[in-house]
Structure 1
Amino acid sequence: MSAMLATQQPFFPFANYIVYYSVNIGLFYAHAYVLTRTFTRRRAAYWTGAGLFLLNFLFFLTLKVGMDLFINAGNSTFAARIQSALKYLPLNVMRNCYLIILSTFYWVGGNIAGYRRKAEASEKAELLAQKETAELGARFAESRNAYLQQQVNPHMLFNALGFIHTHVYRSSPDAAHCVWLLSDILRFGLDAAEADGKASVAREAEQLGHLLEINRFRFDGALHIRVEIANDLGSYRIIPMILLTLAENMFKHGDLRNAEAPALLRLEVNGDGRLLFRTRNRKKAVPPMARNRALGLQNTRLRLDFAYPGGYTLTTKDEGGWFELELAITLN
């Protein structure tokens, strides 16, 4: 029994086991890194992956052989160390292959979970896109229906205005003329814009003239306003109804019957294609309970922001009983 114990190999020191396990763990995660580097790119680098796999395998195998030669050799001769390393070489190869297989399963399992999360996220994004597409389709159908309805409604409106003009003309040619002017303004607002959403500045100025004429009838001629509209507005274009909306704001809130404080309406386009529009008027006395609504100016700013981002200024000044508005647009 004592002879048998004498011939048994002693256990390796505990530190040697820690070194061996560290090497095996290193092989395990190094192979997982090689798989990640090979297959997770947009274009899988198979040849690079094969080369890295071979280098990784040989590196850790050489490391283990070196450990067998120099760490666990004890006091044996170098020839005995080589013989011992060759004896354990097949075992080290099998262990490397076993660890590589385990690492491959570990990597596949982790990536399957990742691919599943990506697939779920992609499916969720696709469902959201389908929902948004359906909502856009519904909105488009509503918009198309509203557009077709708007095409019918103006047709009925112009027919009614034509009927009113014909019958009012018999008793009041001036009132009939105002109906015709209003009809022309409405037609301009609906039909003047071309494919780019703009109309000529000259046509907008013509409609300003119509609005002025309607209000002269409204005030029985007692309309005190100085109008300065340039004759030559060139071929410049503007989104329609902007100047009309701003001018109407003056007629609605301004005191235009005061001959000693006439209002001002000025329109010009300078040689650089910069449109300048200015109104100035005394304000009407506002009842204490009246609500101040600036919806027209808000909508005008929104339209200008969309059509001329960074290319316009719209300023207002309200002091001393006077209200001033100035619009400047770079039309070029």
Structure 2
Amino acid sequence: MSMDFFFAPSFHLPIEFIILFQQFWVFYTAYAFLYFLFLAPKRKKLYSIPLLLICVSGSYSFTLLYVFVYNKLYEPVVFTQQQIIFTVTQVTTQFFIPAIGYFFVVKFFMKQEKVKELEQQKLILQKELLQSENNFLRAQINPHFLYNCLNFFYSETFQQRPDVAEAIMLLSQMMRYSLTDFSATRGLANLEDEIEHIQNVVQLNKFRFSDKIPVSLKIEGNTEHKKIVPMLLMTLVENIFKHADLKDAASKAEITCTIDEKEKKLIFTTVNKKNPVIAGVSQGLGISNIRQRLVLLYNSDKGLQTINEGNLFKVQLTIPYFEPEQTLHK
């Protein structure tokens, strides 16, 4: 059975439209079949099976429509079922093959685009690291002089004002930790040290306000022998002291750090009452910076969730922690 009847020498507009639509149908459903089979996420790969059936059944339906229109409008011709199936197979194959070629061309350009995107992310990360190094060098301007001054203030105030001396010691510990060169620890910080740094920040702020600010810090789980990206949690804590309403003793700001050893994840949650004055002008730069860091570090910011309801603001950050022998970039 040849395809002469399907490409009649005389031009008939309805017939040409049917043929054209059948070609488009086979081409694009075949491409969709290949896309879901090879490029779609695992949970969507099963969509390829109905798409293949749609491709073939659609081609078959267009062939039947062609036969019907041709018999009604032009000349009656009898086609056997075998001839129709042969024609469907031939047409489907003819336009399935170009769809395969088109698929691989698209796949090639998608791969090139992904490589370009990864290179751009690498350049951004290198720029961020260079900026961090520059900031670190600027912060290192004679740090020993600052430590010596703080130690002097501590020794001078220890007898007369032990509360002030303790605050000075906390400030000294915070500065020392902030200037830590984490490249020596493969880009990661001890979770215990991060938590201690957060505790120092909370305690120092309580000293500032005579222990009257309603902020609680709760640690759930074992923090030993675990490492995380440094200073990622600190931004959320700083946001509380910048944007929360800490004058209302009845609305306590809560900081919770939960270590899930089964999933090897850390869940860091902050809940606070919003300051109505600051909330109206805040640009959310802290949250935005965290999202950017998460994308650079984990290729996704899905681990950060914010809930803004009524006068309460909640942030939950879920990130993996690392074992002592792991590095940030393998």
Task: Please give the TM-score of this superposition, normalised by the length of structure 2.
Answer: 0.51
Q: Determine which of 283, 303, 308 is the counterpart of 2:274.
A: 283
Aligned with 1:234: secondary structure? coil
CA drift of 1:153 comes to: 3.6
Partner residue of 1:215 out of 205, 210, 232 = 205
Distance in 1 (alpha carbons) for counterparts of 2:135 and 2:272: 38
SS at match of 2:140: helix
Partner of residue 54, structure 2: none
The answer to whether 1:324 aligns with 2:314 is yes
- Note if contact 2:228-2:321 (Cα within 8 Å) is conserved in structure 1: yes
How far residue 170 of structure 1 moved from its aligned partner, in angstroms, is 4.6
What stretches of structure 2 of length at least 5 have no aligned partner? Answer: 1-125, 323-330
- 2:174 alignment counterpart: 185
Distance in 1 separating the partners of 2:149 and 2:312 = 39
Query: Structure 1: how far apart are the matches of 2:310 and 2:135?
Result: 45
Instruction: Name the SS for the 1:191 alignment partner.
Output: coil
**What is the rounded CA distance, in whole Å, between the counterparts of 1:258 and 1:212 in structure 2?**
17
Who is 1:161 aligned against?
150
Equivalent position SS for 1:242 = coil
* Corresponding letter in the other structure for 1:232: N
Residue ranges of structure 1 left out of the alignment (5+ in a row): 1-135
Q: Structure 1 length as normaliser, TM-score?
A: 0.51
Shift in Å, 1:319: 2.4
* 1:311 CA displacement: 7.4
The 8 Å contact of residues 275 and 330 in structure 1, kept in 2 or not, is answered as: yes
Query: 1:161-207: per-residue Cα shift (whole Å, max 9, x none)?
Result: 22332334354221221121122112112216233211111111111
The answer to whether the 8 A contact 1:312-1:329 is kept is: no
Cα 1:160–1:303 shift into 2, 3 Å: farther
Answer yes or no: is 1:252 the counterpart of 2:255: no
Q: Which of the pair has more CA radius of gyration? A: 1
Q: Provide closer, same or farther for how the CA distance between residues 231 and 223 of structure 1 changes in structure 2, counting only shifts above 3 A.
A: farther
Q: What secondary structure sits across from 2:319 in the alignment?
A: strand
User: Equivalents in 1 of 2:169, 2:304: separation in Å?
Assistant: 31
- Residues 302 and 153 (structure 1 numbering): CA distance in 2 closer, same or farther, change over 3 Å? farther
Alpha-carbon RMSD across the aligned residues, in angstroms, is: 2.9
Q: Which amino acid aligns with 1:251?
A: F
- Structure 1 counterpart of 2:188, from 198, 207, 211: 198
Q: Does 1:314 find its partner at 2:310?
A: no
Is the partner of 2:218 in helix, strand or coil? strand
**In 2, are the aligned partners of 1:192 and 1:240 still within 8 Å (CA)?**
no
Give the letter for the 2:298 counterpart: Y
**In 2, Cα distance between the equivalents of 1:234 and 1:168?**
34
